[in-house]
């Protein structure tokens, strides 16, 4: 057995290069800063790389480090900005460079040949933000951006660029769930259905706000659509929840628990270098430190980081310790996502409404399908479950030979 491989860990740095954006999506949590041209400089990025490289090079196991380039709209930067910083990254990470990848999350409205080259040869992955329905991803004029994005998706396909999509679930897109699923199924494109996060100001989401009690049945419907289909696309978070139930009924699989004190898997880095856990983004009370001025080692050991860890552990203790799925589910949803997705009951008590609800739904469906035997607590039909696992493992890039625009 390759011990090195077994011990490999992953970490993501979500890099807010600039908040500047050409769109004004109505739910954007950066809304008030979308006109701000301030950007991370190449020198600041160099310093950040040095601090990150120094921290991970001292560990006695391999770490895969991924930079997720985010905004605003990250492709508003000139492609040269990325080519230069990627060169510097290779130099600074040295021996670690082969473990470093770069992906970009884009609204895909500013594509030209230079940017297509960047997406083809510079980035290792591309995430496209598109809701397809609901009309909330608007330009400054108020016009919907969807037609432009669909045309540009076609250009990605023509250029054989791998991509996945993120669609935000709001009250405006909720009625189109079947159409959204069918679009991605026919296009053979992986996607994540992301519930609405808190906005940038009070009342921003008025008219399309969605509660956990509405998100849960929508995701359960999506589970049913996926199970009824023969598609091999991965739908997050559905695919990871199906994997959780498979683990839950696989006694030979070791339990695992999210241990934030032992390993941070995602850091959010703001334009000014401030570092946050994803769930506490931009709350000045929970800034771990600054990667433009401070070594990551110091940031990881900072009193604020310890406080953030304690808060996450408390959330897990409250919601997860009595949950039957704990150990198959790591508790990560309560530790890191509960605050921004409002996982509370009517009395305001923390409760795992969405994740636990979906897990129960998947479990029920697999029992109904005869895949799980509720009496033995084992998986009955290993062939069926293997095919489910194969589908989850499928990482096919888009194979669509049809135009995205014609799928709507």
Contact positions vs ligand SF4 (CB under 6 A): 319-320, 323, 325-326, 329, 331, 333-334, 352, 355-356, 359
Minimum CB distance to ligand SF4 smaller for 287 or for 319:
319
Smallest gap, in angstroms, from Cβ of residue 307 to ligand SF4? Answer: 21
CA 296/CA 275 separation, integer angstroms: 10
Torsion of CA 87, 91, 94, 100, to 10 degrees: -30
Smallest gap, in angstroms, from Cβ of residue 350 to ligand SF4? Answer: 9
Residue 329 CB contacts under 8 Å (≥ 6 apart), including other chains: 244, 320, 323, 355, 359
Smallest gap, in angstroms, from Cβ of residue 361 to ligand SF4? Answer: 12
Smallest gap, in angstroms, from Cβ of residue 377 to ligand SF4? Answer: 17
Q: How much of the chain is in helix, strand and coil states, percent to nearest 5?
A: 45, 15, 40
**CA 149, 152, 156, 157 torsion: positive or negative?**
positive
Minimum CB distance to ligand SF4 smaller for 324 or for 378:
324
CA 258/CA 333 separation, integer angstroms: 9
Could you tell me the end-to-end alpha-carbon distance of the chain, in angstroms, rounded to an integer? 48
Could you tell me which of 116, 214, 105, 240 has the C-alpha nearest to residue 164? 105
CA 356/CA 353 separation, integer angstroms: 6
CA 145/CA 79 separation, integer angstroms: 22
Smallest gap, in angstroms, from Cβ of residue 327 to ligand SF4? Answer: 8
Task: Look up tokens 């530790």; give the residue.
Answer: 335
Smallest gap, in angstroms, from Cβ of residue 335 to ligand SF4? Answer: 8
Minimum CB distance to ligand SF4 smaller for 81 or for 325:
325
Minimum CB distance to ligand SF4 smaller for 103 or for 367:
367
Minimum CB distance to ligand SF4 smaller for 208 or for 325:
325
Minimum CB distance to ligand SF4 smaller for 230 or for 322:
322
Minimum CB distance to ligand SF4 smaller for 323 or for 400:
323
Query: Quick check: 123 and 162 in contact, CB under 8 A?
Result: no
Smallest gap, in angstroms, from Cβ of residue 34 to ligand SF4? Answer: 33
């Amino acid at each position: 057995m390759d011990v090195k491989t077994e011990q490999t860990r992953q970490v993501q740095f979500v890099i807010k290069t600039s908040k500047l954006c050409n769109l004004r999506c109505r739910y954007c949590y950066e809304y008030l800063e979308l006109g701000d041209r301030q950007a991370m400089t190449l020198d600041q990025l160099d310093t950040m790389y040095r601090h990150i490289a120094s921290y991970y090079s001292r560990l006695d196991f391999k770490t895969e480090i991924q930079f997720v380039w985010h905004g605003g709209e990250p492709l508003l930067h000139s492609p040269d900005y990325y080519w230069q910083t990627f060169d510097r990254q290779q130099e600074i990470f040295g021996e670690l460079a082969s473990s470093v990848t770069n992906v970009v999350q884009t609204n895909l409205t500013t594509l030209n040949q230079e940017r297509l080259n960047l997406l083809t040869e510079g980035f290792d992955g591309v995430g496209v933000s598109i809701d397809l329905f609901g009309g909330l991803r608007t330009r400054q004029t108020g016009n919907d951006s969807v037609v432009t994005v669909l045309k540009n998706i076609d250009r990605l396909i023509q250029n054989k660029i791998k991509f996945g999509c993120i669609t935000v679930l709001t009250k405006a897109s909720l009625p189109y769930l079947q159409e959204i699923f069918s679009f991605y199924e026919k296009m053979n494109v992986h996607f994540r259905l992301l519930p609405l996060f808190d906005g940038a100001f009070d009342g921003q989401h008025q008219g399309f706000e969605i509660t956990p009690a509405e998100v849960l049945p929508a995701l359960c419907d999506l589970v049913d659509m996926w199970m009824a289909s023969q598609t091999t696309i991965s739908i997050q978070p559905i695919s990871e929840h199906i994997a959780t139930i498979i683990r839950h009924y696989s006694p030979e699989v070791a339990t695992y628990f999210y241990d934030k004190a032992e390993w941070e898997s995602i850091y959010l880095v703001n334009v000014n270098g401030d570092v946050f856990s994803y769930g506490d983004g931009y709350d000045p009370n929970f800034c771990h430190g600054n990667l433009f001025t401070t070594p990551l080692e110091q940031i990881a050991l900072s009193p604020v980081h310890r406080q953030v860890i304690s808060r996450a552990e408390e959330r897990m203790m409250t919601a997860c310790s009595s949950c039957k799925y704990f150990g198959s589910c790591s508790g990560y949803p309560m530790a890191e996502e509960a605050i921004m997705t409002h996982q509370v009951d009517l009395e305001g008590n923390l409760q795992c409404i969405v994740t636990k609800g979906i897990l129960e739904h998947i479990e029920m469906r697999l029992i109904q399908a005869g895949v799980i035997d509720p009496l033995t607590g084992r998986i009955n039909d290993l062939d069926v479950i293997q095919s489910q696992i194969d589908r989850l493992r499928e990482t096919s890039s888009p194979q669509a030979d049809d135009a995205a625009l014609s799928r709507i």
